[in-house]
Amino acid sequence: MTVGLRLDEAVWGLLHQALQHYRDNPRATDHLRHQLARLEQPLRIAIAGPWRSGKSTLLNAVMGEEVAPVDGVDGSTVFTWYEDGPQPSATAYANGQPPQELAIAKSATGMRVDLVGWRAGELRDIVVQWPTRTLRQVTLIDTPATGRDEQGRAPVMERVLRDADAVLYLTRDGRDSDLRVLETSRESAVGQAAAVHVIMVLSRVDETGGGRIDGLLTARQLARRQHRDPRVNELSVHVVPCSGLLGLAGRILSESDYAVLAALARVPRPELETHLLSADRFLRGDLPVHLDTGVRAGLLDRLGLVGIRLATTLIRTGCDSRAKLSAELIRRSGLTELRESMARLLVDRRDTLKARSALAAVEALLRAEPGRGTDELLGRVEQILVGAHEFRELRLLAALRTTRLGFDADLAAEAARLVGGDGVGLAARLGVEHDATVHRLWDAASDAQWRWRNRAEDPLLRLAQRRGAQVVVRSCEGMLAELAEGGR
Amino acid sequence: MIAGIWLDVLDEIARTCGAHGRGDLLQTVRQKRVQLLDPRLRVLVIGESQQGKSQLINAIVNAPACPVGDGRTTVLPTVVQHAEVPSVAVVQAPPPNPGRPAGAALPVTGERTPVPLDQVAAGVAGTFGRRPGGGPAYVEIGLPRALLGSGLVLVDTPGTEEAAALGAAGPAAAPAWADTVLVVSDSTRELSAGELTMLLHVARSHPNVVLVQTKTDLVPDWRAVAERNRQHLAEAGVPAPVIPVSAALRLRAAVGDDRELNAESGFPVLIGRLQRDLAGKSDRLARAAVGVIARTVVEQLAAPLRAELESQEVEEQSGPISRLHAAQREVDELRRCSTRWQNTLADEMADVLADIEYDLRDRTRQILREVDDAFDSADPLVSWDTFQEWLERSLTEAAEANHEWLVRRCDWAARRVADTFARYGGDVLPPWSMTTPPDLGDGLPELERPAVDRFTTSQKLISGMRGSYGGLLMVGLATTLAGMPMINPLSVGVGALFGGKSIRDESKQLLRRRQAVVKTAIQRYVDDFFVRVTKDRRDAVRQVQRMLRDHFTALTEELQEAIIRSFRSAKQAADTDAAVRDQRQREIRLKMTRLAGLFEQAQQLTGARSAPAPLEPRP
């Protein structure tokens, strides 16, 4: 048991034990040292998904700048890492070659990396350093399309699971093949006891419903329906609809863009509508407002036809400044919700997710290179998985999501909230306002503890339910301890 | 007139199926015949989900026939066809019969459940009018439209990602029963790998595939996407045209009766194509369809024949021919074996003989050495009787031991020879054993005491006298000088001394002579013994050799007889088998040629217009 031992300390200890065990194996030691270093690094979030699901666009939208994709080598398997750094720079790592600095061309809204001279399949990683606030806490990884090869394996997804602490999985409609790819994350012991955190993102939602402007709302309903689907729910912690295109457009909308859109919005609606029927018409037709073809193409490129329709409608209905319009675009694109979910469900749980990655790495290493004493270490991994309260919370959350436990909906929601399903901050767990006083928090926490302790001891409940309630009680006690420490 | 020709070919195909005893294929061909004679054009719309399949159908018929929505709306295949008044019904086939493979044929009869017009969405989503546990169901929508009235039937299907899942929704959605297949992919991206695979799969079994690229209104670069899609199709070898359309524009144009917008939507091209297909169904389409079905049928019929040919080639390595080869090998082996055992026998027997002789020689030498030792000291006169007894016993023992050794060696040699017959079974030793004859020692001649000189008393006296005389004289003469008489006590004493010595010397000499005589006699005797026993042994060995030879020769002959017999029968079987196989191969070749002819005939129908689609699945 890890009673009295914090999770990060336990994992740190385990890594050192493993280092000791593999001291004669330079490759394994390197790997373990790498894992040790990784514990201190920002959370790694991979953006994965099938082909043309909008991964790079979403990454740009999250960063608020046009930095992705670094492409040019089509169909390659290169992972692009976006890290915080003092200076913009890009470094290419190829198999069996020294790292090489890449040329960067800066533009008004981001940058482009020059990839001339590399052949497909040569590069393994490109690390882009980019000074931005978003990257302080997370490292984003842009990945190639996930897909299965002939043997039914998903090599990209396997690497994502190895390298990333959490995953944003993009899909257009959450179809079966996507779920099957995600199911590969459940194979190891660590994967079963504490699965990797996946936020499923319904991407390119601006195209939902053939381009109606209420498509975004429909997408939100779809996401909610998917979130309720047990099969999806089991695999992902949240389902968020997001249009990377609109989000990015909102974040980099310029005054000149706004001026053009405002001019368009002044055209009477029925007349404008005929011009916005198709992209062709907008690009080539005689608009009542004089616009350069280049400007039209740029606008289409940034916003898409749906975006232009939405933006003009928004301007007409009250978004009368660039700031307002861009805020509304970002809100409607779902980007706000996505960023909030990322912060709440991933970044706040950084330590647990990091520990999970380290455990998974140690387990994979132990299984790949068995020898004397590996069984003992595997036992230790399992011990941490079973004993650490953080993982018990995660397992309870997973169980609550699949309604296996049989709590009714309200109770399940409360339990999920208390064990950190909505975020691990005290206020988020206790379901009170952000700026609540310590007193109020204390009251809420002790009340919850009292109620759940009763449930934990209620002989009428099923054993699994009582065990779940015990985990909730332990979480409440943790909160009370935290409050007591802070209050002193 | 033209219809007659392809119909003839189709009937010929049906007859061939019958002749090959393939009822299943025959069924398919008959169904196809019915379908081709039907003047209506059945258009199947397939593609991944959320590509706008239902909307495409709505835009073609210019009416919201199929429900459109986000998420999964179409669950049951929907057949849109002409009707005087709008009508909707769910048609469900009876539950699949375990005896017959489900989905093999279009359900002719089915349970029809009328659906109210405002429940179409529920019907298509499979939540209305369908009994659980029933067979595959589909929705039938009747619409009073001129385009449908001319004979167009549109089939909407649920979205599938994999080619294998096509037709899983029931036979109504199977490409086999469609005259034209529209594969739908939207313009927001190029064809995905999955879609390309699906196109390849469909194009292989279907002559008339069109890729419809929807939602061109949404993206400005749909032309580039269409161009790349054409490239992809060309690279994959799928002979399908790409028709970009926009359902939104078409529906909008219908509302405002805007001809220009309608033209922009791309639908006139698609509808023109469908109408051309409809008009050419009984001619061009049917011929192409017959070409494809001929290929399918010929492939299916030829596959087992080809497999049989191949397996026959493999069988040649195993069947009666191989038994013949085995028998041949057996004969050779026996021949080798017979040489081997003869050599072994000769060698072994020579060895036995040499060994036995040496053994006997060794034993007799030993005896002689002992004899020599004994008579170096003993007096034959005294110990002759004891000695004679000992000698006879020793010789008899030597002869017995030697004989025993011979028996053992012969037995061992027989086993060695038998070992060469190990592969023919264990029991090949001759039923024989050598016994020790009881009268081994009897054949020896009596050892006679050699004539030896005795030292008699008179001889002793004379020789004593002769010895003492010299001594007496010698000492007597000397003492006379001292004045003593010639015969005095001293001279008499010396005389007696000399006499005694000469008697002793004489007696010793005689003893040595006796000993030498006895030794020589015994040597001769033992030599005689050796020659005689050796002769016996040689005879015995030769006898054994002869007996073994006779035995093994008989055995070999017996084996040879059996092997030759099996060889003959194997040869006979192989000959018969070869004849039968040749016959069968000729038959198969003939059938294959006929099939090839049929295929050729079917291909001529389509003429040079359509290049033959690849026969083999692409990697």
Task: Look at A225 and B161 and tell me if their CB atoms are within 8 Å.
Answer: no
Among B55, B188, B252, whose Cβ lies nearest the Cβ of A277? B252
* pLDDT reported for residue A43: 93
Tell me the shortest Cα–Cα distance from B105 to chain A, in angstroms. 29
Cα dist. A92→A80, A89, A124, A262, B514 in Å?
9, 10, 8, 43, 121
Residues of B in contact with A222 (CB under 8 A): 70-71
Name the percent of chain A lying above pLDDT 90. Answer: 15
CB atoms within 10 A of CB B69: 16
Tell me the shortest Cα–Cα distance from A176 to chain B, in angstroms. 9
Amino acid at B448: E
Residue that is written with structure tokens 């616009």 in the block:
A291
Q: Where are the domains of chain B?
A: 39-279, 320-599
Residue A3 in this model has a pLDDT that exceeds 70: no
Of B66, B52, B77, the residue nearest B177 (C-alpha): B77
Name the percent of chain B lying above pLDDT 90. Answer: 5
CA B68, B74, B80: angle at the middle one, nearest 5?
80
At A261-277, the pLDDT tens digits run 999 999 888 888 888 88
Confidence of residue A311 (pLDDT cuts 50, 70, 90): very high
Whole-number Å distance between alpha carbons of B213 and B210: 10
Instruction: Calculate Rg over the CA atoms of chain B.
Output: 60
Of B512, B536, B526, the residue nearest B378 (C-alpha): B512
Amino acid at A177: S
Among B70, B217, B261, whose Cβ lies nearest the Cβ of A279? B217
* pLDDT reported for residue A228: 79
Residues of A in contact with B249 (CB under 8 A): 277-278
Residue in chain B nearest A281 by alpha carbon? B217
* pLDDT reported for residue A386: 83
- For chain B, helix, strand, coil in percent to 5 are 65, 10, 25
CATH code for position A215: 3.40.50.2300
Task: Look at A207 and B188 and tell me if their CB atoms are within 8 Å.
Answer: yes
Chain A contact probe: residue of B56, B70, B190 with most A CBs at under 10 A: B70
CB atoms within 10 A of CB B549: 16
Whole-number Å distance between alpha carbons of B361 and A188: 86
For residue A218 the two structure tokens come to 């429909």
In the predicted model, what is the mean pLDDT of residues A295-318? 89
Q: Are B324 and B567 in contact (CB under 8 A)?
A: yes
Quote the domain boundaries for residue A48.
7-64+132-243+336-348
Three-class DSSP labels, B24-38: HHHHHHHHHHHHHHC
Judgement on whether residues A310 and A277 belong to the same structural domain of the protein: yes
Judgement on whether residues A169 and A51 belong to the same structural domain of the protein: yes
* pLDDT reported for residue B75: 80
Asked whether residue A353 is domain-assigned, the answer is no
* pLDDT reported for residue B438: 56
Judgement on whether residues A255 and A238 belong to the same structural domain of the protein: no
Residues of A in contact with B49 (CB under 8 A): 173, 175
CB atoms within 10 A of CB A464: 14
CB atoms within 10 A of CB B3: 13
Task: Point out the least confidently predicted range of A150-159, A356-365, B390-399.
Answer: A150-159
Residues 6 or more apart whose CB falls under 8 angstroms from that of B57 comprise: B45, B65, B66, B78, B80, B154, B156
Asked whether residue A31 is domain-assigned, the answer is yes
Cα dist. B115→A165, B49, B94, B126, B127 in Å?
52, 25, 19, 12, 11
Residue B229 in this model has a pLDDT that exceeds 60: yes
Chain B contact probe: residue of A231, A277, A281 with most B CBs at under 10 A: A277
Task: Look at A211 and B217 and tell me if their CB atoms are within 8 Å.
Answer: yes
Task: Look at A208 and B161 and tell me if their CB atoms are within 8 Å.
Answer: no
Judgement on whether residues A238 and A267 belong to the same structural domain of the protein: no
Task: Point out the least confidently predicted range of A180-194, A280-294, B14-28.
Answer: A180-194
Cα dist. B603→A10, A22, A159, B399 in Å?
74, 69, 50, 101
Name the percent of chain B lying above pLDDT 70. Answer: 87
Among B50, B219, B264, whose Cβ lies nearest the Cβ of A173? B50
Residue B501 in this model has a pLDDT that exceeds 70: yes
Residue B247 forms contact with A (CB below 8 Å): yes
* pLDDT reported for residue A211: 67
CB atoms within 10 A of CB B476: 19
Task: Point out the least confidently predicted range of A207-211, B227-231, B596-600.
Answer: A207-211
Residues of B in contact with A281 (CB under 8 A): 264
Residue B536 forms contact with A (CB below 8 Å): no
Asked whether residue A431 is domain-assigned, the answer is yes
Residue in chain B nearest A309 by alpha carbon? B218
Task: Look at B216 and A278 and tell me if their CB atoms are within 8 Å.
Answer: yes
At A11-41, the pLDDT tens digits run 889 999 999 888 888 888 999 999 999 988 8
Chain A contact probe: residue of B215, B218, B267 with most A CBs at under 10 A: B218
Residue B217 forms contact with A (CB below 8 Å): yes
Tell me the shortest Cα–Cα distance from A434 to chain B, in angstroms. 36
Among A175, A305, A306, whose Cβ lies nearest the Cβ of B161? A175
Confidence of residue B71 (pLDDT cuts 50, 70, 90): low
Of A98, A345, A91, A299, the residue nearest A201 (C-alpha): A345
Residues of B in contact with A277 (CB under 8 A): 217, 248-249, 252, 261
Q: Please report the residues numbered 388 through 407 in chain B whose beta carbons come closer than 8 angstroms to any beta carbon of chain A.
A: none
Confidence of residue B105 (pLDDT cuts 50, 70, 90): very low
Among A52, A218, A304, whose Cβ lies nearest the Cβ of B189? A52
* pLDDT reported for residue A404: 66
Judgement on whether residues A315 and A341 belong to the same structural domain of the protein: no
Name the percent of chain A lying above pLDDT 70. Answer: 93
Task: Look at A172 and B249 and tell me if their CB atoms are within 8 Å.
Answer: no
Cα dist. B161→B48, B164, B195, B211 in Å?
5, 9, 7, 15
Chain A contact probe: residue of B217, B225, B228, B246 with most A CBs at under 10 A: B217
Asked whether residue A107 is domain-assigned, the answer is no
Residue in chain B nearest A51 by alpha carbon? B192
Tell me the shortest Cα–Cα distance from A211 to chain B, in angstroms. 7
Whole-number Å distance between alpha carbons of B185 and B160: 12
Cα dist. B596→B33, B101, B297, B584, B592 in Å?
21, 29, 11, 18, 6
Task: Look at B218 and A215 and tell me if their CB atoms are within 8 Å.
Answer: no
Evaluate the CA torsion angle B298, B300, B305, B307 in order and state its sign: positive
Among B52, B161, B189, whose Cβ lies nearest the Cβ of A210? B52
Judgement on whether residues A19 and A166 belong to the same structural domain of the protein: yes
Residue B50 forms contact with A (CB below 8 Å): yes
Instruction: Calculate Rg over the CA atoms of chain A.
Output: 25
* pLDDT reported for residue A345: 84
Q: Please report the residues numbered 30 through 49 in chain B whose beta carbons come closer than 8 angstroms to any beta carbon of chain A.
A: 49
* pLDDT reported for residue A45: 94
Asked whether residue A51 is domain-assigned, the answer is yes
Amino acid at B361: R
Judgement on whether residues A212 and A258 belong to the same structural domain of the protein: no
Q: What is the CATH architecture assignment of B39-279?
A: 3-Layer(aba) Sandwich (3.40)
Helix (H) / strand (E) element for B111: namely: strand B111-114
Residues of A in contact with B189 (CB under 8 A): 51-52
Q: Are strands B78-82 and B152-156 parallel, antiparallel or unpaired?
A: antiparallel
In the predicted model, what is the mean pLDDT of residues A95-113? 82
For residue A344 the two structure tokens come to 């709440």
Tell me the shortest Cα–Cα distance from B66 to chain A, in angstroms. 15
Enumerate chain A positions whose Cβ falls within 8 A of a Cβ in B.
Answer: 51-52, 147, 172-173, 175-177, 204, 207-211, 215, 218-219, 222, 225, 277-283, 297, 300-301, 304-306
At B320-342, the pLDDT tens digits run 777 788 888 888 888 888 888 89
Whole-number Å distance between alpha carbons of A113 and A78: 14
**How many CA within 13 A on the CB side of residue A286?**
0
What size, in residues, is chain B?
619
* pLDDT reported for residue B101: 43
Q: Are strands B152-156 and B41-47 parallel, antiparallel or unpaired?
A: parallel
Confidence of residue A330 (pLDDT cuts 50, 70, 90): very high
Q: How many domains does chain A have?
A: 3
User: Higher confidence at residue B437 or residue A427?
Assistant: A427
Confidence of residue B483 (pLDDT cuts 50, 70, 90): confident
Task: Look at A278 and B248 and tell me if their CB atoms are within 8 Å.
Answer: yes
Task: Point out the least confidently predicted range of A99-108, A115-124, B97-106, B293-302.
Answer: B97-106
Sheet strands (E) in A49-109: 79-83, 89-94, 100-102, 104-107
Judgement on whether residues A340 and A471 belong to the same structural domain of the protein: no
In the predicted model, what is the mean pLDDT of residues B268-296? 84
Q: Are strands A166-171 and A43-48 parallel, antiparallel or unpaired?
A: parallel
* pLDDT reported for residue B610: 42
Q: Under the phi-then-psi rule, with left for phi > 0, alpha for psi from -120 to 50, and beta for the rest, what region is A75? A: left
What's the mean per-residue pLDDT of chain B? Answer: 81
Residue that is written with structure tokens 């930095």 in the block:
A67
Task: Look at A278 and B71 and tell me if their CB atoms are within 8 Å.
Answer: no
CA B567 vs. chain centroid, Å, equals 24
Whole-number Å distance between alpha carbons of A428 and A345: 11
Residue in chain A nearest B214 by alpha carbon? A210
Of A166, A188, A189, the residue nearest A236 (C-alpha): A166
Q: Are B113 and B89 in contact (CB under 8 A)?
A: yes
At A431-487, the pLDDT tens digits run 888 788 888 889 999 999 999 999 888 888 888 888 889 999 988 988 888 888 875
For residue B562 the two structure tokens come to 């059996």
Task: Look at A279 and B218 and tell me if their CB atoms are within 8 Å.
Answer: yes
Judgement on whether residues A237 and A257 belong to the same structural domain of the protein: no
Residue in chain A nearest B217 by alpha carbon? A278
* pLDDT reported for residue A47: 92
Residue B168 forms contact with A (CB below 8 Å): no
**DSSP for B42-86, written as a single string:** EEEEEESTTS-HHHHHHHHHTS--S---SS----S-EEEEE-SS-
Q: Report the interhelical angle of A374-387 vs A7-21 (nearest 10°).
A: 170
Whole-number Å distance between alpha carbons of A456 and B484: 161
Confidence of residue A2 (pLDDT cuts 50, 70, 90): very low
At B164-223, the pLDDT tens digits run 666 666 666 777 778 888 999 888 888 887 888 888 888 887 888 999 998 888 888 888
Of B221, B219, B224, B229, the residue nearest B47 (C-alpha): B229
Residue in chain A nearest B56 by alpha carbon? A210
Judgement on whether residues A214 and A281 belong to the same structural domain of the protein: no
Q: Are strands A123-129 and A79-83 parallel, antiparallel or unpaired?
A: parallel
Tell me the shortest Cα–Cα distance from A328 to chain B, in angstroms. 22
Size of interface A-B (CB pairs under 8 A): 76
Task: Look at A280 and B252 and tell me if their CB atoms are within 8 Å.
Answer: no
Cα dist. B111→A474, B16, B96, B114, B172 in Å?
60, 35, 13, 10, 14
Judgement on whether residues A57 and A195 belong to the same structural domain of the protein: yes
Whole-number Å distance between alpha carbons of B290 and B231: 28
Residue in chain B nearest A215 by alpha carbon? B70
Whole-number Å distance between alpha carbons of A347 and A218: 28
What's the mean per-residue pLDDT of chain A? Answer: 84
Residue in chain B nearest A218 by alpha carbon? B70
Judgement on whether residues A186 and A268 belong to the same structural domain of the protein: no
Confidence of residue A302 (pLDDT cuts 50, 70, 90): confident
Whole-number Å distance between alpha carbons of A232 and A200: 9
Strands laid side by side in the B137-143 sheet: B111-114, B87-92, B137-143, B78-82, B152-156, B41-47, B180-186, B209-214, B242-244
Complex-level ipTM: 0.77
Whole-number Å distance between alpha carbons of B26 and B49: 35
Tell me the shortest Cα–Cα distance from A220 to chain B, in angstroms. 11
